[in-house]
Amino acid sequence: MTNSTFDTMNTEAKKQLKSVFGYDNFRDEQEEIINQVLNKKDIIVLMPTGGGKSICFQIPALLFDNLTVVISPLISLMKDQVDALKSNGVHAAYFNSSVNEQDKSQIINDAQSGKLKLLYISPETLIPAMNSWFRDLTISLVAIDEAHCVSMWGHDFRPEYTQLKSLRTKLSHVPFIALTATADKITRKDIENHLGLVNPITFLSSFDRPNLNLEVRGNVPKQKKIDQILDFIEARPDKSGIIYCLSRKETEEWSQILNDNNVKANYYHAGLTSDERDKIQTAFINDEIPIMCATIAFGMGIDKSNVRWVIHNNLPKNIEGYYQEIGRAGRDSMKSDTLLYFNYRDVKLLSDFARDSEHSTVLQEKLNRMLEYAEATTCRRKILLAYFSEVLSDNCGNCDVCRNPTSTFDGTVIAQKALSAIKRADEKAGNNTIIEILRGAKTTEMFSKGYNELKTFGIGADLSAQQWLFYLTQLKNIGLIEIAYDENMHLKISTFGEKVLFGKLTLQLAHYQEKEKLSKTAKVKKQPSSLSPDELLFDRLKLLRRKISVEENVPAYIVFSDATLSQMSAEKPTTENEMLAIQGIGLQKYISYGQDFIDLIKLFIKDTGPKKTTFEETFDLIQQGLLVDDIAEIRKIAPTTVYSHLAKLMQDGFPIQFSAYVDDSDFRKVKAILPTLEDTSALKPIFEALGGEVDYGVIRLSLTFIGMEG
């Protein structure tokens, strides 16, 4: 590709970002990643959930002449991404076990004829197809999503991914881009080797998700936990969330607890049939079920952007999994909450699971790191980022530790002693051995390996083994020390650690404290019941989005994300240009939905002008096509009150479509029962005569209509 051609494509990439996806600017490293893909380089992209990985291959796919193949293990994610692309006017399809044979034939024809720009396919489907119809495709780019699945060290190993190296060999002229949201150093190494990437350029985006509030509560009695979670949910009305549980039984119990307390929820686990799981997952995606109680499999591949909170009922088995699970909240970058409960029963159970695995040593060590996070006395965000080799210089201010900080001291010397011991042991010793070196332990290992001759031998004898374990854990948590899982858990010094060791940086550490079984029981402040005008508009925009999503049978966030609606409610666009300036609204989205949202905003602006009667306020909502329950929810009134408003509006000559609010069979029942009753001026006798089969509101509206007819 010549420089001029490359520059043209780069300019076109920015145009596609705006016209197709509705965004003015690329985020973080997206533009540079796209540039390198267009330059036909192999790429590894590590970017957190919600960071915009898909754009990195979707825009090149639009610019390349031929097909882009996207390999993903997640059937639900394929469907969501294809639906989203189609809503933006992009020709895309997915090919997996959920597609029937007739549709598969059509997709193959479309792919071979050049009609498709992107084809999503599962590795299980791809491998057998490589020697048949797949050979006849002309491919410009291959994207491998969830690339951590190739590594046995990753938290979601898939054997099929190890066979993808043969695809790289067959398509040696085609650039490959491997993408993941969760991969530590050893997993990244496997991605490069096992996929056969050629001199790949690695892009490691920040793993920081500052919009996520992090909180941990340890050893909370069950009833108190129930009370806390109910308070937590009550403080976040109408917000979508997930409660992750370790066992199937717990998911069902929590679903029952919530529903018994008038909180709509359902459960999801592998014991359900495939049809049941699909139905429940679809209901959650479409906002029909706001809360899901689920095992950790739930959420894989769900591109639902408006999950507002995630609760872990138990300790996760590793930080990678925990990070991925909390990452399902706030994918649209809006503020969201995460809450982790743990107790030592969780640790024992998970430890037993790890012990039965062929990789028991690694799994146990990763569980230890997860427990260290839960028990931490330092900024939790620093710990998460350090695990993925990223240093956060300042405390985040958005976790429970930062809000309730422990006292600290200058721990530079303690850190230097530990780091020096690791360095002098040639970074070939684990946790316990380093502590023995520091304390000058008279053990066989110390003498047989010559550790007793090291200058650091006994340099930390003034501290107990428990104290050294406490401080070493902090050094790991804040990123000075890394664990080499593929080298027998040996401790390594990071670049950050080197700076502290050689006196270029000082370090604050939390004072040593004995482990305490503490329960943080601070009550969450409940949200005020009154809403601002922007919040009211946001609610109305969500209802319109919901109506469209039901009509088109797509998830609500595929129409518009919460972030887009939030900006819309703040800026209140009323023209085409103003609407296209909203982030997330491209040309096709505007053509499909823009005018409907403009009309609603105009009505809202009109509503919030001079004060209207309560009946007129209801009529304005009727004009938007909303039904009784929607109007009742917006106006915070009972549905029967809405029916009384409808009756009054009909009497006053407002154009009310009676059949839209009263079913014909119900109307006939009311009309038929009237001649049999002595008193038809009150609603109760009619209601009782009909055996309670027709609501009071419907009876009232029917009587009004009959009176107007007569």
| Domain presence at residue 521 | no
Choose the weakest-confidence range: 70-79, 93-102, 190-199: 70-79
Same-domain check for residues 486 and 413 = yes
Same-domain check for residues 176 and 33 = yes
Same-domain check for residues 372 and 231 = yes
pLDDT-based confidence at 601, cuts 50/70/90?
very high
* Angle (CA) 83 88 89, round 5°: 95
| Domain presence at residue 515 | no
Per-residue pLDDT at 278 exceeds 90: no
Which CATH number do you get for residue 552?
1.10.150.80
Domain stop point among 139, 169, 204: 204
Same-domain check for residues 297 and 388 = yes
Same-domain check for residues 188 and 161 = yes
Same-domain check for residues 397 and 418 = no
The pLDDT score that the predictor gives to residue 501 is 94
Distance linking the first and last C-alpha atoms of the chain:
80
Q: Read off the pLDDT of residues 476-506 as tens digits, 9 standing for 90 and up.
A: 988 899 888 778 889 999 999 999 999 999 9
The pLDDT score that the predictor gives to residue 492 is 93
Same-domain check for residues 218 and 318 = yes
Choose the weakest-confidence range: 2-16, 203-217, 433-447: 2-16
Query: In whole numbers, what is the pLDDT of the chain averaged over residues?
Result: 87
Domain stop point among 567, 587, 609: 609
- DSSP label at residue 64: S
Per-residue pLDDT at 157 exceeds 80: no
pLDDT-based confidence at 181, cuts 50/70/90?
confident
| Domain presence at residue 517 | no
Q: Read off the pLDDT of residues 393-435 as tens digits, 9 standing for 90 and up.
A: 889 999 999 998 888 899 999 999 999 999 999 999 999 999 9
Per-residue pLDDT at 513 exceeds 50: yes
Side-by-side strand order, sheet with 291-294 = 212-218, 336-342, 307-312, 240-244, 291-294, 265-268
Per-residue pLDDT at 68 exceeds 90: yes
| Domain presence at residue 309 | yes
Per-residue pLDDT at 289 exceeds 50: yes
Same-domain check for residues 157 and 13 = yes
| Domain presence at residue 518 | no
| Domain presence at residue 520 | no
Which CATH number do you get for residue 618?
1.10.10.1390
Q: 333 near 309, Cβ under 8 Å?
A: no
Same-domain check for residues 178 and 259 = no
CA distances from 589 to 62, 81, 545, 554 (A): 17, 15, 12, 14
Long-range interactions of 83-89: CB distance < 8 A, separation 24+: 83/554, 83/555, 83/558, 84/303, 84/558, 85/58, 85/118, 87/554, 87/558, 87/559, 87/588, 87/589, 87/592, 88/20, 88/21, 88/586, 88/588, 88/589, 89/20, 89/586, 89/587, 89/588
Per-residue pLDDT at 614 exceeds 90: no
Residue 438 sits in which domain range? 408-510
Cβ neighbours, 10 Å, residue 410 = 11
pLDDT-based confidence at 52, cuts 50/70/90?
confident
Same-domain check for residues 617 and 598 = no
Tell me the range of 113-122, 301-310, 339-348 where mean pLDDT is highest.
113-122
Average pLDDT on 49-58 reads 87
Same-domain check for residues 378 and 497 = no
Q: 174 near 14, Cβ under 8 Å?
A: no
The pLDDT score that the predictor gives to residue 5 is 52
Per-residue pLDDT at 363 exceeds 80: yes
Model's pTM, two decimal places? 0.69
> Which of 621, 639, 623 has its CA nearest to residue 539?
621
pLDDT-based confidence at 80, cuts 50/70/90?
confident
Per-residue pLDDT at 222 exceeds 60: yes
Choose the weakest-confidence range: 257-271, 274-288, 418-432: 274-288
Per-residue pLDDT at 522 exceeds 60: no
Residue tagged 């550490």 (tokens): 509
The pLDDT score that the predictor gives to residue 518 is 38
CA dihedral 387, 209, 318, 228 (to 10 degrees): 130
Tell me the range of 243-252, 580-589, 657-666, 691-700 where mean pLDDT is highest.
243-252
Tell me the range of 294-298, 517-521, 589-593 where mean pLDDT is highest.
589-593
Per-residue pLDDT at 678 exceeds 60: yes
Which CATH number do you get for residue 472?
1.10.10.10
Per-residue pLDDT at 701 exceeds 70: yes
The pLDDT score that the predictor gives to residue 652 is 83
Per-residue pLDDT at 517 exceeds 60: no
Domain stop point among 560, 594, 609: 609
| Domain presence at residue 516 | no
Same-domain check for residues 191 and 63 = yes
Q: How remote is the C-alpha of 404 from its chain's centroid?
A: 27
| Domain presence at residue 190 | yes
How many domains, the chain?
5
pLDDT-based confidence at 357, cuts 50/70/90?
confident
Average pLDDT on 237-255 reads 93
Q: Read off the pLDDT of residues 347-356 as tens digits, 9 standing for 90 and up.
A: 888 888 888 7
Cβ neighbours, 10 Å, residue 654 = 16
The pLDDT score that the predictor gives to residue 344 is 78
pLDDT-based confidence at 3, cuts 50/70/90?
low
